[in-house]
């Protein structure tokens, strides 16, 4: 659901206030001096209670662990049925307030086409009660005003959703920019380490080797104290060459790209989705292409979950193998055992992985899960 704290608080407060007003005006206008009147009053109270319970479950801020959208849609339908039932029991016009509240909720739970159909149904039902079921003096004016309020409420909700989507898009671009910057910094560090190690090996290492050979020659051509000092210098040069080789080995061994910083920047403050990172601290990647492929796969998985998954939680974990690095991504979205078709994002992800001789496996038994394995020359 596309919400922020202020919108959520205002919507809830206005919804409960409207319900309280409707309860007071409706119940105060219904006579209860006869058995039929008491039964009608009980039915109205029951309908109002069903409505407010449904409103709570459809508008609560916390997401449901499973089937979030479906639960909210069912709660919405409970409100819809309650409003219809109340309309049959009373002609109080204030019930239209609850119907307008239903119109305002439509864009949050249904597609644009579904929301338009729902709006048409709500206005059509009000038309039927106004012109046929109820005895109203000026039905045309009354129905026109109520229909306009329905349309206005839904349009305002759509505007809220569009603004929230725009903010989410800006936030996503900012996260991706920070994550890409972190990845580029790691790549630059790797390149610099390799360059320095190569310069040490090709420059200082070769010169030290030449110096050692000349000193070794002098140990055979000099005598007495001079020969002893040349020998000491020879040993110092050999130790220095050993230190240089050790430094070069360590710098090459520490030249792998670590994805942790980039991924932490990518998953920070993702709206409506709690992401848990479980990264193997030793599972760094020496190949820039492999690191970028893993990063892009995680980026695409988050985008797909936000757009299509209807999930509240995602887990991202990485493990190193003897000859590969494994990435596991899973959410608790609504694709449990359901049919799905690979879109451009998943196809691009598969092509990127297969280009590196890797494998991508998709599972939908419990949420939506991706299991990625890419062979690497060295999984450090």
Per-residue pLDDT tens digits for 278-313:
877 665 676 777 878 888 888 888 888 877 767 778
Per-residue pLDDT tens digits for 125-153:
988 888 887 777 788 888 899 999 999 99
Beta bridge partners of 379: 285
Q: How far is CA 379 from the centre of its chain?
A: 28
Average pLDDT of 259-288? 74
Give the residue, 170 or 90, on which the prediction is more confident: 90
Tell me how far apart the alpha carbons of residues 158 and 331 are, in angstroms, rounded to a whole number.
27
Is pLDDT at 340 greater than 90 in this prediction?
Answer: no
Q: Give the pLDDT of residue 337.
A: 46
Alpha-carbon distances of 78 from 57, 81, 184, 314, rounded to whole Å: 10, 5, 52, 30
Q: Give the pLDDT of residue 1.
A: 47
Q: 105 and 141 in contact (C-beta within 8 Å)?
A: no
Beta bridge partners of 155: none
Which two tokens mark 273? Answer: 């989705």
Phi and psi dihedrals of 318, rounded to 5? -130, 145
Tell me the pLDDT of the chain averaged across its residues. 78
Alpha-carbon distances of 23 from 11, 73, 97, 196, rounded to whole Å: 18, 24, 11, 77
Beta bridge partners of 328: 317, 371
Which two tokens mark 132? Answer: 């046929």
Give the single-character DSSP code of 63: P
Phi and psi dihedrals of 320, rounded to 5? -95, 140
Q: Give the pLDDT of residue 3.
A: 47
Is pLDDT at 360 greater than 60 in this prediction?
Answer: yes
Average pLDDT of 189-214? 72
Per-residue pLDDT tens digits for 150-198:
999 999 888 888 887 777 777 777 666 666 666 666 666 666 776 777 7
């Amino acid at each position: 659901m596309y919400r922020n704290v202020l919108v959520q608080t205002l919507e809830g407060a206005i919804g409960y206030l409207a319900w309280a007003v409707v309860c007071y005006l409706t119940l105060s206008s219904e006579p209860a001096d006869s058995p039929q009147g008491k039964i009608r009053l009980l039915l109205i109270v029951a309908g109002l209670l069903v409505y407010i319970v449904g409103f709570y479950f459809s508008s609560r801020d916390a997401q449901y662990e499973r089937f979030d959208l479906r639960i909210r849609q069912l709660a919405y339908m409970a409100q819809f049925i309650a409003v219809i039932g109340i309309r049959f029991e009373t002609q109080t016009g204030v019930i239209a307030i609850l119907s307008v509240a239903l119109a305002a909720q439509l864009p949050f739970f249904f597609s644009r086409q579904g929301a338009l159909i729902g709006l048409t149904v709500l206005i059509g039902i009000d038309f039927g009660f106004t012109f046929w079921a109820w005895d109203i003096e000026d039905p045309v004016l009354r129905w026109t005003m109520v229909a306009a309020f329905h349309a206005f409420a839904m349009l305002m909700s759509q505007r809220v959703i569009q603004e929230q989507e725009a903010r989410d898009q800006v936030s996503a671009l900012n996260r991706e920019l920070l994550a890409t910057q972190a990845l580029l910094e790691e790549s630059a560090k790797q390149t610099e380490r390799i360059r320095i190690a190569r310069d040490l090996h090709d420059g200082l290492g070769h010169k030290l080797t030449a110096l050692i050979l000349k000193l070794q020659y002098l140990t055979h051509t000099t005598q007495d104290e001079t020969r002893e000092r040349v020998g000491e210098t020879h040993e110092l040069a050999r130790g220095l060459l050993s230190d240089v080789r050790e430094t070069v080995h360590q710098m090459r061994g520490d030249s792998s790209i670590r994805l942790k910083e980039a991924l932490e920047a990518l998953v920070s403050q993702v709206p409506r989705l709690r992401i848990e990172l479980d990264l193997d601290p030793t599972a760094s990647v020496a190949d820039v292409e492999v690191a970028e492929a893993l990063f892009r796969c995680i980026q695409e998985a988050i985008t797909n979950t936000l757009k299509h998954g209807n999930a509240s939680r995602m887990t991202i974990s990485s493990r190193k193998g003897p000859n590969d690095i494994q990435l596991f991504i899973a959410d608790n979205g609504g694709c449990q055992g359901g049919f799905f078709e690979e879109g451009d994002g998943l196809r691009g992800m598969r092509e990127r992985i297969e280009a590196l001789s890797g494998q991508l496996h998709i599972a939908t038994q419990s949420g939506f899960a991706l299991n990625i394995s890419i062979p690497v020359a060295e999984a450090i």
